[in-house]
Structure 1
Amino acid sequence: MYNTATVFWKTLANAGVTHAFVNWGSDHSALLEDLERQRVENGKSLLEIVTCPNEMVALCAAHGYAQVTGRPAAVIVHVDVGTQALASAVHNIDRGQTPVLIFAGASPWTIEGELKGSRTEWPLWIQDVPDQAAIVRQYMRYTAQIPNGVSAAKTVMRALQFAQSALKGPVYLWARREVLEEELDASVVEQGVNAAGWPPVTQPSLPSSAINTIVSALIGAQFPLIITGNVGRSPNAVPLLSALSTTLSVAIATSCPSALCIPHSHPCLVGSSWDGRTAFLKDADVIIILEADIPWMPIMGTQPKSGARVFVIDADPLKQSVGYAHVDAEMLCKADAAEALGQLLEAAERRLSEPLRATVAERKLHLEALHSTWTSQLAEAERALVPGAALPTVPYLLSALRSAVADHTPSKGQNVLWLNEGISNAGHIWDHIQPEVPGSMLMSGGSSLGYALGAAIGAQMGSVVVQRRYDLIVAIVGDGDFLFGAPSTAYWIASRYETPFLTIVLNNGGWLSPGRSMAVVHPQGHGAKASGHRLTTSFGPKAPNYSQIAVAAGDAWGRRVESASDLSTVFEEAARVVQVEKKCAVVDCVLQLF
């Protein structure tokens, strides 16, 4: 017997969806029944089903999967309550422009047995809400109800088309239980749809007028600067940005990056910022804002100098989903970043005459000196401990971690995926892990906490799909982030599905960021000299034993480190456990508490 659920699964599989991260409920009877039919008839299900006892972890896992593969996964949740339990991970996949298909069942409409699937349990009355999709609609690229079995395939394909078109992002489908149970003739199921006929929208290129204007400005500038944050979401754009900056000796500064935009060792990289104080912004006479959400923050006293020419190249140069965002610019260009960079590089190479090469060579020497000074300052910071204590500073800790991973992985650290959710320490993680390979460091792209643990699971699964197994996946999180990530669920899933990863907890004893925000707004206020305990941002002496949560929930290996001298040994053992024993490892690193 075939039904709408059959069409749903078959359409996802034909479209290339390989994994579904699921939290089952009473609305999914048809989906569960058809999965078992698939196993009985074919020996396996069309999709890999990953049981997720927490919906937010499920969505975070799909997030990590999509970041590694470039393809959407499915997330299946239970009616309105499961939709709400996706929580703030919905914000992350929206802001991170990550394609995910979310499906939720819905309470049956019929109550007297008129159709198969009518209401049979008391929660089905309470879970029937007037507009279930409204819970998430403003974050979605597309929302729709599957109205019947014959239109199910086309509804799914339309959703996937939106999810994979710029701006990529999440989509939300829902269907009532009777609809999923609707019996269908085999011919309807077999007919399906041709997935190849539903491609994503092609991104525009730069017009020739923009290419000529921007390249002329870059060539004629004294100090040209490219500010980027998200171009690395397309790993194929990274070598193009590297080549363009090398060809014309253009400085690169990253601002609030969500993915590696340029190798840390690139001589044109002059700084990375998370506080709005973009490196050398005041010196630049030509500025290209390339896929950056926050190029600078005027309130921090950082803005372009008078007369600087500013160009914006972005898939969404107006930031249309943001309530207010603006920079004064000469030109706003809506274009695919990789395509635009290729066009600019080709035009630059054509325009480089011998006199211009001399100018470029002179700029190169200047940028190399700036890069050297910056990296020397980072190296100096890595040698410092907390004054008067045996505790490590964050740069010291991250340097030890970087070295341990390089020394104890087959690729010497080059085939490692770093998931950065350090929040108040996010900038330190970029500066001191110093990633080199496109796609080797990722963030959620949003500001919700709890992404990294689930994302590590999905990334591990995705790496198998695209046949690029990592030596090691490392999630670096704050202690608050760790708890937001529903660790008991995350480590249980990782254990069950054999997706081990290393977690480094930067334990400063609570929520450091809210106190910092207060101090910026109220530098002389009552709270300026108050302790974290007084402010209620500290977890205090009764803070959780983070590593042992993972041990209890997922048979992980865990250690707590309170001395800088122990870091290297513990990091080395943790890396061995993940790679050899195939178990998750959690290192709780105690920093100076506030």
Structure 2
Amino acid sequence: MYTTSSLFLHTLAQVGITHAFVNWGSDHPAFLEDLERQRVDHGDTVVEIITCPNEMVAMSAAQAFAQVTGRPAAVIIHVDVGTQALAGAVHNACRGKVPVLVFAGASPFTVDGELKGSRNEWIHWNQDVPDQPAIVRQYMRFTAQINAPENVPQLVRRAIQIATSEPKGPVYLWARREVMEVEVDEALFNTPASLYRWPSIEPTGLSPSAVNVIGDALSHAINPLIITSHIGRNPAAVGALEMLSRLMAIPIYVTCPSATNITLSHPFFVGVSFLAAGTHTPLLSMADVVLVIDSEVPWIPMNKDKQGNFERPSDDARIFVLDSGDPLRETIGMEHVGGVAELVCRASAETALFQLLNSGRTGAATGFYARSKSTQAVHDAFIADLRRAETLTSEPNVPYAPSRIFGALRMAVENKVPHPASTLYLNESISNYPLTWSHLHPDATGGMLSSGGSSLGWGLGAGVGAVLGGVNAGKGAGKLGYELVVSIVGDGTFLFGVPGSAFWMARRYETPFLTVVLNNGGWKSPKLSMLGVHPEGHGSKATGSRLSVGFGPDMPDYVGIAVAATGGWAWGKRVSAGDPLEETMAEAVRIVVEERRCAIVECVLECI
């Protein structure tokens, strides 16, 4: 017997979805029944089912799976409460422009047994809300209700078409329990459902006039600058970016990255900033042409450097904005760059950059030789400063600095996993974001990811999804998956990540990854936000605990949480001042790579 649920799962498989991250409830009897039918009939299920004890972890794992593979994953959750429990992970998938198909059941609509699946549990009344998809609608690219089995193949394909077209993002389908229990004819079940005639939108390019204007501006610029944040979501675009930069000696600066946008060794890569005041490159205010590619926030207009100068382009600078999906930032309330730009273009970065490369305007850039020498010097100084910071020793009884920790981690990884394509870093270190990106910046495209949003708790579930995705997509030098996935989190983000669920999943599905917890004793970012507005106020001299952003004096046992959640399978160690940092990092990497177990290293920083 086939049901609407049978057809739904069958269609997921037909359109290329291989993994569903699930949290079952009373709305899913037909799903559970059909999955067992599949096992009995075929020995396995058409879509691999990943049981997730928490919905936010499910969504985070699915997001990372899609980020790694470039293909959407599915999340199946329970009515209104499961939809709510997706929590901030929906924001992350939306802002990170990651295609995830979310399906939620809904309470039955019949009460006297008129249809199969009619209400027979008290919770069916409590969970029936007037507008369930409204909970997440503003974060979704598409929402739709399944009302009958006949249009399931079309609805799923329509949802996938929208999710995988720019601007990519999550989609939400939902259905009442009776609808998912409807029996369907075998002929409907066996009707082919592919993405034929439901393709994603083809990447768009620049208009001929825009190619001419931008190409001429770059070729005649004295001090051009390229700023990007997430061009690396399309690895093919990174090669075009690096080629344009080399041919025209244009420095590349990265703000608020969520993907590896440029290789570390590129001679014109000049730094990373998360736009705290005083941290932007001085090249910005000197630039006469600024090309902003795939970047939501390339600068903050009100910020000033230590000399009191604004960290923004001059009024005379020519500014060009390229974005593949949403150049006007229509889903953001206020935006500033479009108001000062000469051109704002909706175009695929890969397509647009190759248009500029093929335009004939990249060969004779003004000031090429002098600029290449000066920009190379900035790059070399940037790298030298990083390596110098990694070797600085602390005073006795003073906690290790983050730079020293990252240096120890980087060396342990390079010694054990020499090929950069075989390691993936997941960065959710928050107040240490800039240092993590700079010190661990891989020399390979796709080597580091973050959520792309600002809801904390992505990193641990992402570890599970990234390992699964790496195997599924044949990542790594050996094409068998990553040898090592490393998730760098703060102590706050560790707790936001529902570690009990995340590490249980890692053990259940044998997805080992290394977690490095940067423990500064609480939430440093809210304190930094306060200091940004009240630098000399009452709170400027208060401790984190007094400000109610600290976790002390009795801290959680972060290592113990991970070990307990895995029944002792995970290995962990706490490193504080004077403890053997380098040896601990090397052992943690070895355990993940050789023993294929999770490892967790808690690094105690200076307390906030």
TM bin (shorter chain): over 0.9
Letter in 2 for 1:172: Y
- Unpaired runs of 5+ in structure 1? none
Displacement of 1:259 after TM fit? 0.4
Take 2:300 and 2:12, find their aligned partners in 1: how far apart are those partners?
Answer: 42
Are the aligned partners of 1:270 and 1:367 in contact in 2 as well (CA < 8 Å)?
A: yes
Take 1:541 and 1:453, find their aligned partners in 2: how far apart are those partners?
Answer: 25
CA-based RMSD: 1.2
TM-score w.r.t. structure 1 length?
0.97
Residue 121 (structure 2) aligns with: 121
- Give secondary structure in 2 for the equivalent of 1:540: coil
TM-score w.r.t. structure 2 length?
0.95
Residue 301 (structure 2) aligns with: 298
Take 1:394 and 1:384, find their aligned partners in 2: how far apart are those partners?
Answer: 11
Are the aligned partners of 1:386 and 1:592 in contact in 2 as well (CA < 8 Å)?
A: no
Letter in 2 for 1:415: S
Which of the two has greater helix per residue? 1
- Give secondary structure in 1 for the equivalent of 2:226: strand
Letter in 1 for 2:124: L
Displacement of 1:358 after TM fit? 7.6
Residue 228 (structure 1) aligns with: 228
1:456 has 2:463 as partner: yes
Residue 26 (structure 2) aligns with: 26
Task: Out of 537-546 and 558-567, give the one that drifted further.
Answer: 558-567
- Unpaired runs of 5+ in structure 2? 305-310, 476-480
Take 1:188 and 1:358, find their aligned partners in 2: how far apart are those partners?
Answer: 64
Displacement of 1:366 after TM fit? 1.2
1:29 to 1:309, Cα distance in 2 relative to 1, 3 A? same
Residue 273 (structure 2) aligns with: 273
Are the aligned partners of 1:407 and 1:413 in contact in 2 as well (CA < 8 Å)?
A: no
Letter in 2 for 1:145: Q
User: Which residue of 326, 335, 344 maps to 2:336?
Assistant: 326
- Give secondary structure in 2 for the equivalent of 1:27: coil
Displacement of 1:388 after TM fit? 5.4
Residue 163 (structure 2) aligns with: 163
Take 1:272 and 1:564, find their aligned partners in 2: how far apart are those partners?
Answer: 30
Are the aligned partners of 2:441 and 2:448 in contact in 1 as well (CA < 8 Å)?
A: no
Are the aligned partners of 2:221 and 2:366 in contact in 1 as well (CA < 8 Å)?
A: no
User: Aligned runs of 1:37-116 on 2, under 5 Å?
Assistant: 37-116=37-116
Are the aligned partners of 2:397 and 2:578 in contact in 1 as well (CA < 8 Å)?
A: no
Take 1:312 and 1:352, find their aligned partners in 2: how far apart are those partners?
Answer: 19
Residue 140 (structure 1) aligns with: 140
Are the aligned partners of 1:318 and 1:326 in contact in 2 as well (CA < 8 Å)?
A: no
Displacement of 1:402 after TM fit? 0.3
Take 1:375 and 1:190, find their aligned partners in 2: how far apart are those partners?
Answer: 58
Take 2:462 and 2:64, find their aligned partners in 1: how far apart are those partners?
Answer: 4
Displacement of 1:359 after TM fit? 3.1
Take 2:400 and 2:226, find their aligned partners in 1: how far apart are those partners?
Answer: 34
Take 1:108 and 1:434, find their aligned partners in 2: how far apart are those partners?
Answer: 50
1:417 has 2:417 as partner: no
User: Which residue of 474, 479, 485 maps to 1:473?
Assistant: 485
Residue 556 (structure 2) aligns with: 544
Take 1:412 and 1:318, find their aligned partners in 2: how far apart are those partners?
Answer: 39
Take 1:209 and 1:357, find their aligned partners in 2: how far apart are those partners?
Answer: 19
Are the aligned partners of 1:405 and 1:412 in contact in 2 as well (CA < 8 Å)?
A: no
Residue 368 (structure 1) aligns with: 376
Task: Out of 337-346 and 110-119, give the one that drifted further.
Answer: 337-346
- Give secondary structure in 2 for the equivalent of 1:307: coil
Take 1:417 and 1:271, find their aligned partners in 2: how far apart are those partners?
Answer: 20
User: Aligned runs of 1:439-450 on 2, under 5 Å?
Assistant: 439-450=446-457
Residue 317 (structure 1) aligns with: 327
Residues 372-393 of structure 1: CA deviation (Å, up to 9, x unaligned): 1222222222232445544211
Letter in 1 for 2:133: A
1:352 to 1:493, Cα distance in 2 relative to 1, 3 A? closer
Residues 272-314 of structure 1: CA deviation (Å, up to 9, x unaligned): 1112543110111100010011100111121101310000000
Take 1:61 and 1:216, find their aligned partners in 2: how far apart are those partners?
Answer: 44
Q: Number of aligned residue pairs: give it.
A: 589
1:150 to 1:290, Cα distance in 2 relative to 1, 3 A? same
Letter in 1 for 2:472: V
Take 2:285 and 2:579, find their aligned partners in 1: how far apart are those partners?
Answer: 41
Are the aligned partners of 1:7 and 1:192 in contact in 2 as well (CA < 8 Å)?
A: no
Letter in 1 for 2:303: M
Take 2:410 and 2:492, find their aligned partners in 1: how far apart are those partners?
Answer: 23
Residues 482-535 of structure 1: CA deviation (Å, up to 9, x unaligned): 000000100000001000000000010110110010011011211111111110
Are the aligned partners of 2:514 and 2:599 in contact in 1 as well (CA < 8 Å)?
A: yes
The percentage of aligned residue pairs carrying the same residue is 52
- Give secondary structure in 2 for the equivalent of 1:299: coil
Are the aligned partners of 1:551 and 1:558 in contact in 2 as well (CA < 8 Å)?
A: yes
- Give secondary structure in 2 for the equivalent of 1:300: coil
Displacement of 1:55 after TM fit? 0.4
User: Aligned runs of 1:159-558 on 2, under 5 Å?
Assistant: 159-276=159-276, 277-279=279-281, 280-301=283-304, 302-315=311-324, 316-327=326-337, 328-347=340-359, 350-351=360-361, 356=364, 359-387=367-395, 389-409=397-417, 411-468=418-475, 469-554=481-566, 555-558=569-572
Take 1:351 and 1:447, find their aligned partners in 2: how far apart are those partners?
Answer: 39
Are the aligned partners of 1:492 and 1:553 in contact in 2 as well (CA < 8 Å)?
A: yes
Take 1:529 and 1:385, find their aligned partners in 2: how far apart are those partners?
Answer: 27
Are the aligned partners of 1:255 and 1:273 in contact in 2 as well (CA < 8 Å)?
A: yes
